[in-house]
Structure 1
Amino acid sequence: MAPPSESSQKTNTTNHTLAQPHEADVHSTKLGEEIVIVDTVDPVSAPEPHPEGGYGWVVVIASFWVHFFIVGGTSAFGVYLQHFTAGQIFPNASNLSIAFIGSISACGLPLYAIPAGRLADKYGYRPVAIIGGALTGLGYIASSFATEAWHIWVSQAVLFGVGSSFAYMPAISIISQWFEKKRGMAVGIAVAGSGVGGLALSPLIRLLIRLLEWRWALCINGIVCLVATVVAALFYKTRVASKRAAAIDFGMFRIWDFTCLYIVAFFNTFGYFIPFFFLSSYAVYYGISTDNAALLLGVLNGASAVGRLLWGYSADRFGHMNTLTVTISVASLSVLLIWPFSTALWSLMVFAIIFGSFIGGFISLFPTVIAELFKTKNIASINGMLYSSFTIGNLFGSPLAGLIIDRCTTHNSDGSTTINFIPAILFGGACMLVSSGFVLSLAFRKRQAEKAERTAKLAQEAL
């Protein structure tokens, strides 16, 4: 069914009837007893009701596999980092320089999010995602030829970085076109792929490194990632035609909801990857075997996968903003109050389960809150702008933690080394706690706005 032309837009006149604020962009003026509603929505942004299923589930499964290999692979990169550090693969490389490998691979996704979202809205989700999947796989393969740490920086920053963003933006944006009432659950299933990916890939990478060495592990990782993500992208099908807009609309920052979400993600990402990148090294330092350390990382990712499903489903019942507030708050408190006191395998398992399950809520609920506040028109472009807030935290969060660990490492006269991880842990937890404060203020503002809207509606009905 072709979208109506510009001429089909019209002015509707009703008696005391207002358009639903989330269904359309409206301007209204009161003329005596009459409310004049001027509909300014582009017709392509007001499609038929969401199917809430059907082919939408195929799209969810395709998005799941992209999350499995793109984000799950990034989360599992801590296994490579631990091997690079413990095996002295790159001589004289510090914790800071090794941490930059992981952070560069993580920051590429938000760094290129704005052009990725813009291109997906302009040229289609499928071709952009196919290019992204191919580049991501090639990034892993190129890294397998590295002889210096900076070689991996380049391959991860360029090939993997561009590829992951081009693959991810369509994957996270397309689901909102198919679901509204079940959006939390649908997005939760899709983003659970990253947790399941981390859970499955961490021990597999450890096994490949042991059997074939790290170069072949990266090469195999890249080939599988390339094939899986490209095939998944072939199943994308969009329902909403996007209106061409400016690549960067700085006017969005005048909207407090947008700015507040940007700040939430900015601070949260400074602490997000620290457990994923350093929990394995922390565990080995306290006498836990490398296999059990890799298992901890797998449990962390597995708990994250379960959390994404659990909190996505809960958000459909209790509100996406409310659930996002709870998940970020509990995750930050677990870093501050549990991790610093955990030195045994069982206590680290407890931390991994709690942190993983609650931080998973941030991954599944952040895109649903965006869709709830800004709807589906040009959603990839809006997602791109908001996901760009991850860049600084993803790039510098873990390296700053690595730098703090380096500064807090003491080389004793007997040749032993004493490492104090606590300052780095507290740094990450504090950043996440700031994020939880902003999301709490956003949730409070949203409740106040809903209350005012209900009051105005009751007053109007009483007239």
Structure 2
Amino acid sequence: MAGLAPTDPCSTSDPTTSAPAAAIYSSPAIELIGLDEERPKVSSESAPVPSESPESPTSPTPSPSSPEPFLTTLCEGGLKGWLAVLGSFLIHSLIFAPTEFVFGVFVLHYQQVFQGSPASAIAFVGTTGSAITYIAGFVSGIVGDHFGYRQTAFAGSVLMSVSLVLASFSKQLWHLYLTQGVLFGFGASLAYYPAIAVPSQYFVKHRGLAIGIAVSGTGLGGFALAPLTNALIDMVDIFWTLRILAIVIFVVCGGASMLIAEKVDPVKLSIHLEEEQARQDQERTITGDLEKTFVPSGANDIKSIDKVATKKPSFFQALYVFKNPQFLSLTIAEFTASIGYLIPLYYMQTYAVHIGLTVDEGALILGLSNASSFVGRILLGIIADRISNTKTLLFCSWGCVISIMVFWTLAKSFATLALMGMTFCLFIGAYVSLVPVAVAESFGTDTMASMIGL
């Protein structure tokens, strides 16, 4: 018909998004207030139904203007969703660099600064930072779910920057344990869990792809930072490198934290509903001798109902998931996987020097391995969307085992060590990118950060 406007293929109207608000406005308490009002009825004459043409086929043919699958993917999350993915990508590109994906570069140079300290003792600095990041995950998730993802991630960015500045003044090895280890780990935890949780709130059909793109920032950041960090240390020194890295983290992660907003802000929704209820009560004020508001029975419970509907679970209430066998199984599996997945990254450059390669060649291998992780996280997300998230995780677990037990045993040259590192990082990307997908599919996205933190 000529009067109909063309539909927007990128319309972000989603029944799952609009359902909560619609359900609250149509709650019994609000319906009682409008008992004295009649709803307008739509006449069949005012809304003519188009007649079916006998020439039209039984099955409608697709419109030539219908969006292609790629366009559909772009439209699912909307602009706000893809900005959240971008913010998560930028945060991932830096938060794990000083303790995980480029820490192998720091190990060799710390051995020169803290002479007499074994490589294992220095590597424990990165292990401490990584462990604190995940151990504090549950608290960080609760903080993010209650106070907002933006605020929590920004606080983590500030804490990470401060920790690296303090680490640059370290005189003894235990100073690094407290600064680059414990303090940086807490900051990374505050930034990581909101960043990993937010893409799942905007995407359902292409959730694996969205999270894969977000966490691929770790691989791309490691690919760029490994050789750059090594060159920067040679140009200035390791402590000025820490200070420069602190500035970069504050600018990039702090700015990116402004992009990772939750899809639904329950605080704003609650305020809006309370204002709407006050307006309706004022309109129903009876003039004359009564001069008071007519409020039917049950209407006074609207605010309490609204608060219950939008209130996040407390710290102890969130522990209910431990009663779920599926959650326990997933937690145990990921805990055992996290014990050893960082070991190749910590010792890859040290092992490269051990087999006769140069420090620069070791840094290049580490960078290529992180680049492989960048590709793997996006590719595995696409595969998980099309096949199965659980099967993809299982396949990648065996891929990691083979790369360590077979390829690392044969790694005696630049080519074989690079093959081992790239193969391992290609599959290990599933550890980060697909676990949030499994959590979102099984337990929803309302308390996503808390669930991943567990």
Counterpart of 1:62 in structure 2 is 87
Counterpart of 1:256 in structure 2 is 325
Tell me the amino acid that sits aligned with residue 293 of structure 1.
Answer: G
Structure 2: gaps (5+ residues)? 1-17, 30-74, 267-309
Q: Provide the rounded CA distance (Å) in 2 between the counterparts of 1:349 and 1:236.
A: 35
Partner secondary structure for residue 434 of structure 2:
helix
Partner secondary structure for residue 96 of structure 2:
helix
> Which string of whole-angstrom CA distances, capped at 9 and with x for unpartnered residues, describes residues 208-261 of structure 1?
110001011111011101111010011222123464213144432221111111
Alpha carbons 1:144, 1:216 under 8 Å: kept: yes
Of 210, 226, 229, which aligns to 2:250? 226
Of 107, 120, 137, which aligns to 1:81? 107
Alpha carbons 1:120, 1:380 under 8 Å: kept: yes
> Which string of whole-angstrom CA distances, capped at 9 and with x for unpartnered residues, describes residues 128-187 of structure 1?
111011111111111111111110100124421111011111100111110010111110
Alpha carbons 2:148, 2:261 under 8 Å: kept: no
Counterpart of 2:27 in structure 1 is 8
Alpha carbons 1:137, 1:226 under 8 Å: kept: yes
- Displaced runs of 4 or more, over 2 A: 1-10, 50-54, 71-74, 156-159, 240-243, 248-251
Counterpart of 1:340 in structure 2 is 409
Q: Provide the rounded CA distance (Å) in 2 between the counterparts of 1:287 and 1:136.
A: 35
With the length of structure 2 as denominator, give the TM-score of the two structures: 0.73
Tell me the amino acid that sits aligned with residue 326 of structure 1.
Answer: F
Of 346, 352, 360, which aligns to 1:277? 346
> Which string of whole-angstrom CA distances, capped at 9 and with x for unpartnered residues, describes residues 260-301 of structure 1?
111111111111110100011111011001100011111111
Counterpart of 1:245 in structure 2 is 313
- Name the larger-Rg structure: 2
Alpha carbons 1:126, 1:234 under 8 Å: kept: yes
Counterpart of 1:298 in structure 2 is 367
Counterpart of 2:294 in structure 1 is none
Tell me the amino acid that sits aligned with residue 177 of structure 1.
Answer: Q
Q: Provide the rounded CA distance (Å) in 2 between the counterparts of 1:380 and 1:111.
A: 13
Alpha carbons 1:247, 1:381 under 8 Å: kept: no
Q: Provide the rounded CA distance (Å) in 1 between the counterparts of 2:220 and 2:451.
A: 27
Give the drift of 1:7. Answer: 9.1
5 Å matches for 1:369-408?
369-385=438-454
Tell me the amino acid that sits aligned with residue 395 of structure 2.
Answer: V
Tell me the amino acid that sits aligned with residue 220 of structure 2.
Answer: V
Cα 1:6–1:271 change in 2 (3 A) is farther
Partner secondary structure for residue 77 of structure 2:
coil
Of 120, 124, 133, which aligns to 1:96? 120
Cα 1:7–1:112 change in 2 (3 A) is farther
Q: Provide the rounded CA distance (Å) in 2 between the counterparts of 1:202 and 1:71.
A: 12
> Which string of whole-angstrom CA distances, capped at 9 and with x for unpartnered residues, describes residues 283-327 of structure 1?
101100110001111111111111001101111101111111111
Q: Provide the rounded CA distance (Å) in 2 between the counterparts of 1:177 and 1:243.
A: 17
Q: Provide the rounded CA distance (Å) in 1 between the counterparts of 2:209 and 2:391.
A: 15
Tell me the amino acid that sits aligned with residue 256 of structure 1.
Answer: P
With the length of structure 1 as denominator, give the TM-score of the two structures: 0.71
Alpha carbons 1:72, 1:193 under 8 Å: kept: no
Q: Provide the rounded CA distance (Å) in 2 between the counterparts of 1:224 and 1:338.
A: 35
Aligned residues, how many? Answer: 344
Identity of aligned residues (%): 35
Q: Provide the rounded CA distance (Å) in 1 between the counterparts of 2:25 and 2:329.
A: 34
Partner secondary structure for residue 52 of structure 1:
helix
Q: Provide the rounded CA distance (Å) in 2 between the counterparts of 1:109 and 1:182.
A: 27
Alpha carbons 1:129, 1:170 under 8 Å: kept: yes
Counterpart of 2:336 in structure 1 is 267
Tell me the amino acid that sits aligned with residue 313 of structure 1.
Answer: I
